[in-house]
Amino acid sequence: MIMLFVFIAIVVLVFMFIGFYNSLVRLRNQVKNAWSQIDVQLKRRHDLIPNLIETAKGYMKHEQDTLKAITEARSKAMGADSVGEKSKAESALSGAMSKFFVVVENYPDLKANQNFLALQEELTSTENKIAFSRQSYNDQVLFFNNKIQMFPSNIVAGMFNFKQEDFFELEDKTERAVPKVDFSS
Amino acid sequence: MWELIRANKQKSLMLFFVMGICLVVLGYFIGGAYGGEEGTFFGLGLALFIWIFMSVISYFSGDSIILKMSKAKRVSPNVHPQLFNVVEEMKIAANLPAMPKVYIIPDPAPNAFATGRNPQNASIAVTAGLLSKLNRDELQGVIAHEMSHVLNRDILFMTFSGVLLGSIVFLSHVFLRSMWYTGGRGRRYSSRSKGGGQIQMIMMIVAILMAILAPLMARLLYLAISRKREYLADATAVRLTRYPEGLASALEKISSTDLNLTSANKATAALYIINPLKPKGSKLSNLSSTHPPIDERIKVLRTIAGGANYINYQNAFTKIAGRGRRSNIIPSSAIHDKKNIDLRTIAKPEPAGTKKGVRDLGDLIRAVNKYVFISCLCGMKMKIPPGFKKTEFPCPRCGRINQVPIAELAVLAGVTQGLEKQHPQKETTPVHKQIFAYHRTGKSWESFNCPCGSAKQLSPAFNKDFFYCNKCGRKIEVKS
């Protein structure tokens, strides 16, 4: 009789163990998937920037520094590997971009260029997509990290070496608030 | 978010059940009124049959019927890239499994709606007037509102309960009409026994009462719920965009027009973001309206403070609507989600040069209707309708002969066909391998348009046989 109980207890424990392991794996995959969503958008931004520079170059003869800053930030961001590095490099890139769009205000010819307008819309949209996918990535990471730290799933996580993931923080609040520019004039 | 969707589903089921019972009871009494006790079963069966039949139809093709009814056209991204971008952004924010199909209604009245069976098969339709009127942030607010209907599974629920309501109205209408014409004398006297006649008499009275009351009750219930869902969709939209001002000013702009959406009717009115049929200013419309008063929606959106989560919306709503009214817009299970979501308070700068005028609206409507635009060298912009057959077209201003981009017209038609049939675009000869021949008229400067639309000039000194278009890469043969 006791043997039977012990046996049942072991079976239950084994099943619980499998369940925790599987849910951890599923969460980790979800985090990876969310990250790939961000990555797609970041790549898209990197692809758009050369076109933007090419279009703007002819008009902005006196703003070579601004353009250079973007190009440098872009190559740095493309070289970044880990999530932590990427978030730093990408926020630098965002900063350079927002400076650029402020400077654009002084070039009405450029602002009227259809090609430039289309690019600007694409970039705005890509920034938004990055922001939205970043939010869902961070939600997933929070969920995953909680699971790793909390009892009893932390035992399973420790045994199979599940590591906590980094959050993707793009910028601090002052940078996130895009400088307000009056277009009415 | 998930608690909210679950609560919403439960409520939908409840409403569905109550309205279903309404329909069945109505059928029972109407049957009784005509055929005594055997009639009750017949009436019951008939009511159930109508209900099931219409539900099946609306499940499988409800969205396409609604889209056809509202004259919405499926468009490709190049007609309005910004709209597609915004829809994709909201798709990412809402974590939808698939990109909704995008439709444009070629109508100057600003409005929008969403439909579809489930998030995998959703469609979002906006009018051309909406696109020409709103800026990016406002458009995002509207799309987020529609996406919330998709996310909260409102679209299927609204279709189903609309069908149920339609069945009830239909049954009672038929019954009351038949009473009117037969004077209630129907088959009443053909029953065999006196007792049966008496039961039938009672049945008849109850049936008349039911036929008058049931549609009224069902409609009020339906309207109350649909109004609540508009608030809920507003709340979800704020959560998705984190920018309540966008939706608020969009609602303000939409409500300030006098234009009526010609393709909307009573059946589809509940779907739109604001009521497309303007009620002629009566206080009673508050109770019988499919939409909450728009001023209140705007006020609630502008009162939101401290965050973009549901609890912030609920607080703002209580502040505006007052505690006296029963005002739980958000199911309490969703309120427990106390996570703080930052609000965005600053408007995103608009891309420069996006001032929109009446002309843009017309062009957008034409683009939806598959017109092709060509520009003459003199600066005249010509709009070629989709069925145009000729290959050349003289400019009405300067008389230059312009090439009609037949290939482009065909491709446009082909692209949209491909969209409808879900087939990839058929392969045509790539543009840069096509050859275009131009015949010189003299030896002086000459200008013409490449079929791709870019302007070409030949100098008197040009003496080669061909050159390549620098825009599309076509080989252009020059013959004298």
A108-128: pLDDT as tens digits = 888 778 788 888 888 888 888
**Mean pLDDT, chain B, integer:** 77
Longest Cα pair distance anywhere in chain A, in angstroms? Answer: 89
**Which residue did the predictor score with more confidence, B314 or B342?**
B314
User: What distance in Å separates residue B352's CA from the closest CA in chain A?
Assistant: 6
The domain containing residue A128 runs over which residues?
2-176
Burial B261-282 (b: 16+ CB within 10 A, else e): bebbeeebbbbbbbbbeeeeee
- Cβ B88–A125 below 8 Å, yes or no? yes
In this structure, are residues B94 and B147 in contact, taking their beta carbons and an 8 Å threshold?
yes
- Structural domain includes residue A97: yes
A17-44 mean pLDDT: 88
Q: Given A111, A118, A132, which is nearest B92 (Cβ)?
A: A132
**Which residue did the predictor score with more confidence, A64 or B194?**
A64
Phi first, then psi, for residue B278 (nearest 5°) are: -70, 120
A54-59 mean pLDDT: 83
Nearest CA in chain B to A183: B352
* The total number of structural domains that make up chain A: 1
Cα separation, B39 vs B405, in Å, equals 67
Looking at chain B, how many residues does it have? 480
Collect all residues of chain B within an 8 Å Cβ-Cβ radius of residue A133. 92
Q: Where are the domains of chain B?
A: 2-278, 369-421, 429-480
Tell me what pLDDT residue B112 has.
92
pLDDT bracket for residue B142 (50, 70, 90) = very high
Q: State how far the alpha carbon of B107 is from the alpha carbons of B76, B127, B139, B244, B304, in Å.
A: 18, 6, 16, 26, 33
> What pLDDT, in 10s, does the model give residues B384-409?
887 777 777 788 888 788 777 776 76
B425-429 mean pLDDT: 50
Phi-psi region of B125 (alpha: psi -120 to 50; beta: other; left: phi over 0): beta
How large is the angle between the packed helices A114-149 and B81-94, nearest 10 degrees?
A: 0
Tell me what pLDDT residue B424 has.
44
CATH of the domain at A14: 1.20.1440.20
B446-453 mean pLDDT: 79
- For residue B124 the two structure tokens come to 């979002």
Phi first, then psi, for residue B116 (nearest 5°) are: 135, 165
- Residue B470, pLDDT > 80, answer no
Helix-strand-coil split of chain A, %, nearest 5: 80, 0, 20
For B316-325, B367-376, B436-445, which range has the lowest pLDDT when averaged over its residues? Answer: B316-325
B254 CB-near residues (< 8 Å, 6+ apart): B110, B111, B130, B133, B142, B273, B274
B147: nearest Cα among B90, B204, B77: B90
Q: B381 in helix, strand or coil?
A: strand
Mutation choice for A interface testing from B89, B139, B338, B340 by most A CBs within 10 A: B89
B140-149 mean pLDDT: 92
Collect all residues of chain B within an 8 Å Cβ-Cβ radius of residue A34. none
> What pLDDT, in 10s, does the model give residues B158-173?
777 777 777 788 888 8
DSSP characters for B66-125?
HHHHTT-EE--GGG-HHHHHHHHHHHHHHT-SSPPEEEEE--SS--EEEEESSGGGEEEE
Q: Is B477 a catalytic residue?
A: no
> What pLDDT, in 10s, does the model give residues B275-309?
777 654 444 455 556 677 788 888 888 888 777 77
B432: nearest Cα among B448, B414, B446, B452: B452
Tell me what pLDDT residue B380 has.
78
> What pLDDT, in 10s, does the model give residues B193-229?
455 567 777 778 888 888 888 778 777 777 777 778 8
> What pLDDT, in 10s, does the model give residues A87-99?
888 888 888 888 8
B56-81 mean pLDDT: 85
Nearest CA in chain A to B339: A139
Query: Which of 140-179 (A) contact B at CB < 8 A?
Result: 173, 177-179
Tell me what pLDDT residue B347 has.
62
pLDDT bracket for residue A5 (50, 70, 90) = very high
DSSP characters for B13-59?
HHHHHHHHHHHHHHHHHHHHHHHHHHHHHHHHHHHHHHHHHHHHHHH
Cα separation, B113 vs B100, in Å, equals 12
Collect all residues of chain B within an 8 Å Cβ-Cβ radius of residue A120. 351-352
For A50-59, B153-162, B244-253, B352-361, which range has the lowest pLDDT when averaged over its residues? Answer: B352-361
- For residue B255 the two structure tokens come to 């409500």
